[in-house]
Chains A and B, each alone.
Chain A
Amino acid sequence: ETGVTQSPTHLIKTRGQQVTLRCSSQSGHNTVSWYQQALGQGPQFIFQYYREEENGRGNFPPRFSGLQFPNYSSELNVNALELDDSALYLCASTPDRGDSPLHFGNGTRLTVT
C-alpha cells in the first residue's frame, strides 16, 4: 500500500510569484484535503476535493485554488504569494468523505521571501 506522497519537499519563492504543490493520495483513497501549518501552530483546513470536485473550503482567499485528477492525485496552487504564506503545506487523503482518519503526507515546506 503506497502512502501519501508530496512534492517538492522544500520550495523557496519570491513574494508575488505563483506556486504549485503536488500530492499523490494513498492507494484506494478518493478524497484529498489540504492544510496549511504555520510554525508552532496546528494545521488549518484549506479545502477538500472529492472525485475531482471541490467539496468544502476553509477561510482562505481565492488565490488558493486546487485541482483533483481522475487518479485522485491533487494540486494546490497559490497565486500572488505573500510573506505570510510561508508554511508547511500538508496533504491528507481518506477513502471517502466520511469520518475516516486522515492519512498525511510529509508536507511541502514553502518559504516566501
Chain B
Amino acid sequence: SQQGEEDPQALSIQEGENATMNCSYKTSINNLQWYRQNSGRGLVHLILIRSNEREKHSGRLRVTLDTSKKSSSLLITASRAADTASYFCATAPNSGGYQKVTFGTGTKLQVIP
C-alpha cells in the first residue's frame, strides 16, 4: 500500500519556471524524504526532512513539512530541462526497529526547453 500521495500526478512547465509538488501521508513519521527517478532507472535521494523540522533547502530545492496536516511540499526553483523526471515522497515510520520507507505515487514533471 502507498503511504503517501503526491499532487499533482503530472506537471508540465517551461524551463525557468518553478515547480511545486505536494505530498500527503497518513501515519506519524520520523522523517520524510524526496526522491527523483529518471525513466526506468533507480531512484536518487534529494533531501530528507525530520519530523521536528519545518523547512529545508538544498540548492534549488526547498522542502516544507507540516506534521499537523501530514503534508509536505517540494519546490524546484528555476527549473531546467534536466529536471524532467518523476518525483516521489517517502516516509519513514515513527517507530523503532527497521526503517520501512514507504513511497507515494509520484509526480511526473516535464520541463519544456
Contact = CB atoms under 8 A, between A and B. Distances in A.
B30 A105 contact: no
B101 A88 contact: no
A45 B101 contact: yes
Given A59-B1, A102-B45, A104-B43, A42 B33 contact: no
Nearest to A39: B40
Interface in B5-47: 30-31, 33, 35, 40-45
Contacts of A55: 97-98
Contacts, number: 70
Contacts of B50: 99
Given A97-B98, A101-B48, A42 B92 contact: no
Contacts of A43: 43, 88, 103
Contacts of A99: 30-31, 48, 50, 92, 99
Nearest to B46: A101
Contacts of B30: 99
Interface string A72-104: 000000000000000010101010011101111
B100 interface: yes
Contact of B100 (A45, A88, A103): A45
B43 A90 contact: yes
Nearest to A33: B101
Contact of A56 (B31, B98, B105): B98
A13 interface: no
Contacts of A104: 35, 42-44
Contacts of A41: 2, 105-106
Nearest to A41: B105
Interface string A35-52: 100000111110010100
Contacts of A106: 41-42
Top 10 closest pairs, chain A to chain B, by CB? A104-B42, A56-B98, A42-B103, A101-B45, A106-B42, A55-B98, A104-B43, A43-B103, A106-B41, A42-B105
